[in-house]
Amino acid sequence: MGQTKKQKSEDGQEPKERKSRRSSNEALQLMQEKAESDKAFREEELKIRKKEEETKAAQFQAMFTQQQSFLQAMTQQQQQNQHMQMLMAQQSQAMMSVLEKLFSKE
């Protein structure tokens, strides 16, 4: 049945050592240290998240600026095309009037 520690040690088994109990001050100190390390961990995590958000915002701003530049370039290209079409129409009209004058004299 139940054997004492002494009997167990005589049988070749080593007795288990008792866990020492910690004082309440020591327990409070351990809890305080854990709370401080948890706080430091959360602060570091917040810093990392903030940097990630700043990076995302910078990327978004760069993309937005690039898109605006692209749209501005497209608008300018369209205006140039319209101007060229207008010049070509004016040239065609001038050529037609010159040809009309030439043929009407003959």
The owner of tokens 């608008």 is: 75
pLDDT in tens, 27-64: 899 999 999 999 999 999 999 999 999 999 999 999 99
pLDDT of residue 38: 96
Residue 15 has pLDDT above 60, yes or no: no
Contacts of 5 (CB under 8 A, 6+ apart): 15
Contacts of 22 (CB under 8 A, 6+ apart): 30
Rounded percentage of the chain residues whose pLDDT exceeds 70: 77
pTM equals 0.51
The domains of the chain are located at 22-105
| Contact call for residues 16 and 8 (beta carbons, < 8 A) | no
| Contact call for residues 63 and 55 (beta carbons, < 8 A) | no
Cβ atoms within 10 Å of 8's Cβ, excluding its own? 14
